[in-house]
Amino acid sequence: MLDGEALIERVREVLAECRPMIQQDGGDLHLLDIKDDIVHVALSGNCIGCPSSQATLKQGIEKRLRLRIPQIKGVASPQLQ
């Protein structure tokens, strides 16, 4: 199980893989925190107010994170609360 800087680095690597897909639609995401194995990200650009943001976050980013880092339980964003 990863923790500390190793976990943060691994999450950043996976988010970097997801970023081009989001940027091609004029959006972006940034890692805010990892707390209790939930990755918290900030969405920006065209992601704000986009009806597809929730699906992108859960079916794209969260799915990839959980496949690559099994201890991750989910992804959350303050913009989608």
Number of domains composing the chain:
1
Beta bridge partners of 28: 44
Task: Quote the pLDDT of residue 2.
Answer: 84
**With pLDDT > 90 as the criterion, what percentage of the chain qualifies?**
89
Query: What range defines the domain where residue 38 resides?
Result: 4-80
pLDDT at 36 over 90: yes
CA 13, 14, 15, 21: dihedral to nearest 10 degrees?
A: 120
pLDDT at 51 over 80: yes
Task: Please compute the mean of the pLDDT values over residues 23-30 and round it to a whole number.
Answer: 95
Round to the nearest angstrom and report the end-to-end CA distance of the chain.
Answer: 28
Q: pTM for this structure?
A: 0.92
CATH classification of the domain holding 73: 3.30.300.130
Task: Quote the pLDDT of residue 17.
Answer: 96
Q: How far is CA 34 from CA 1, 24, 52, 73, in A?
A: 14, 26, 23, 10
